[in-house]
Amino acid sequence: MRGKNSARWHCRACRKTAFGSESRAQETIDRVSGVTEQGRRVPRRAYPCPHGNGWHTTSQEERRAG
């Protein structure tokens, strides 16, 4: 496992790719936003890891409070 100063690593708690900061996750989102492959999910936003292991990306839209 890499430290939080690395660009990205694998979060063992979530089994997802994690990024050391929100800006690092957003850079990845921006880089792949123009890539369209059929059947492939494209990340749309970043969110903090619920286990405190950096930031993750998701293809889901922002959840609205209701």
Task: Quick: pLDDT tens for 6-53.
Answer: 688 999 999 999 999 999 999 999 988 777 667 778 899 999 999 998
**Token code pair at residue 18:** 């994690």
Q: How many residues does the chain have?
A: 66
Position 52 in a domain: yes
Cα–Cα distance, 62 to 66 (Å, whole number)? 12
Which pTM was predicted?
A: 0.76
Position 45 in a domain: yes
Can you give the residue range of the structural domain that contains 35? 8-58
Position 3 in a domain: no
Position 64 in a domain: no
Indicate the number of domains in the chain: 1
